[in-house]
Amino acid sequence: MNNRIFNFSAGPAVLPVEVLEQAQSSLLDFDGTGIGIMEHSHRGAAFCSVLDQTIADCRAIADIPGDYQILFMQGGASSQFFTVPMNFLSAGETADYYVTGSWSKKAVAQANRYGTPHIACTSEDRNFCYVPQEAEFSPQPKYVHYTSNNTIFGTQFHSEPTVPDQSHLICDASSDIFSRSLDIRKHGMIYAGAQKNLGPSGVTLLIVHNDLVEAGSRDIPEMLQYRTFSKNDSCYNTPPTFGIFMMGLVFKWILKQGGLKAIEEMNEEKAGTLYSHLDNGNLFRATADENSRSLMNVTFVTGDDELDKKFIAEAKQAGFDGLKGHRSVGGMRASIYNAFPAEGINELVKFMQNFESKNS
Ligand SMILES: Cc1ncc(COP(=O)(O)O)c(C=O)c1O
């Protein structure tokens, strides 16, 4: 595997090598069945046991209580932007949104189709470089929605927001799911597209409390009701079998690392190395406020667009791919999800030091 380079892509993103190797061998013959994993029926014993084990490992990782369902849907996290309000919000009703970046803005836009989203707070005044500490809730929000990690702007909630009694907290955790310990009980629902910390794109993981599964609208198509997925073990129609299989391998890898606490420590150390260089070097600086910094997406600039471009080009030449910041922000972004190796951060810091000495 020594022809792999350091992949800082924001998603789809780097996966653990051992997971890719296991997947590779399962493509032709899964578990001695003589049939590749992608070729197995979703109703057959082989896939059913993959599904059961994946759910069991998911529960074990985050200590997910029995009154929460684990569901697998399609359409990406973006489809949850409308599926959530379609299920829980009707005309005349209000749901509150933390607006901390482009993804939460997109979620608000979809909620507008079904009811009245109320912006409880926003950090748009400073181009989303921080997570607001205060929020003003509407009198009776049906739910409160937040994006735990802002992939584009490199900010992250460091604890779950506290919401009014009786309202459900719903989290888009697409870019930091299972990167640290997680208090499931504080949430009514957590959803995440797989392609950053969980596996390949094409499958969305949902952790949903039974009350919300039941509360969802019945006047919408079956495929958009959470109860359909709950009642049918995510197999009402053909689920994304390969994506679920891959997620299962990633779950096993997380457990092998020592679970979320161990993963969190690794992530703190990796991000800490990079932020410490940004804070102490003489050319680059981090763009997010210190108390809002993300452990998953580290955004930084030199302050000179041309120099940023030069850095990105030279870094790519040297084997550091995907460092260009999102088109709406510019600069650089190092996405260092769970599977990104610590060695890659150390090598990047050395490369930055070298670049600094030539360009300061
Ligand atoms: C925080 C967040 N939410 C939602 C999305 C959209 O996900 P998808 O492409 O799976 O619809 C992304 C994609 O990067 C994201 O980072």
Residues 295, 238 within the same domain: no
Using a 6 Å cutoff on CB, does residue 243 contact ligand 1? no
* Catalytic annotation, residues: 103, 172, 196
Residues 82, 219 within the same domain: yes
Residue 32 burial class via C-beta count within 10 angstroms: exposed 0-12, middle 13-18, buried 19 and up? exposed
Q: What percent of the chain has pLDDT over 90?
A: 97
User: From the alpha carbon of 173, which atom of ligand 1 is closest?
Assistant: 1
Question: 103 CA distance to ligand 1 centroid (A)?
Answer: 7
Closest Cα to atom 9, ligand 1: which residue?
76
58: CATH: 3.40.640.10
- Condensed to tens digits (0 to 9), the pLDDT of residues 169-191 reads 999 999 999 999 999 999 999 99
User: Tell me, what's the pLDDT at 329?
Assistant: 86
Question: Is 28 inside a domain boundary?
Answer: yes
3-state secondary structure of 182: coil
Question: 350 CA distance to ligand 1 centroid (A)?
Answer: 31
Picking from 257, 273, 297, the residue at the C-terminal end of a domain is: 257
pTM: 0.98
Does residue 1 have a pLDDT over 80?
no
Residues 228, 127 within the same domain: yes
Question: Is 237 inside a domain boundary?
Answer: yes
Give me the domain span that covers residue 241. Answer: 18-257
Q: Please compute the mean of the pLDDT values over residues 323-343 and round it to a whole number.
A: 96
Q: What are phi and psi of 23, to 5 degrees?
A: -60, -45
Residue 305: CB atoms within 10 A of its CB come to: 11
Nearest to 63 by CA among 228, 254, 222: 254
Closest Cα to atom 7, ligand 1: which residue?
77
Q: Is the dihedral of CA 148, 99, 326, 158 positive or negative?
A: negative
Give the count of domains, the chain.
Answer: 2
Closest Cα to atom 15, ligand 1: which residue?
174
Picking from 257, 276, 311, the residue at the C-terminal end of a domain is: 257
Can you read off the two tokens belonging to residue 166? 């009786």
- Condensed to tens digits (0 to 9), the pLDDT of residues 219-258 reads 999 999 999 999 999 999 999 999 999 999 999 999 999 9
Question: Is 11 inside a domain boundary?
Answer: no
302: CATH: 3.90.1150.10
- Condensed to tens digits (0 to 9), the pLDDT of residues 191-203 reads 999 999 999 999 9
What residues does 339 pair with on adjacent strands?
none
Question: Is 325 inside a domain boundary?
Answer: yes
Using a 6 Å cutoff on CB, does residue 322 contact ligand 1? no
Q: DSSP alpha helices (H): ranges in 112-179?
A: none
158-193 in b/e form (b: 16+ CB < 10 A) is eeebebeeebbbbbbbbbbbbbbebeeeebbbbbbb
Nearest-angstrom CA–CA distance, 134 and 123: 11
Nearest-angstrom CA–CA distance, 216 and 206: 14
State which H helix or E strand residue 116 sits in.
strand 116-122
Residues 53, 132 within the same domain: yes
3-state secondary structure of 106: helix
User: Tell me, what's the pLDDT at 328?
Assistant: 83
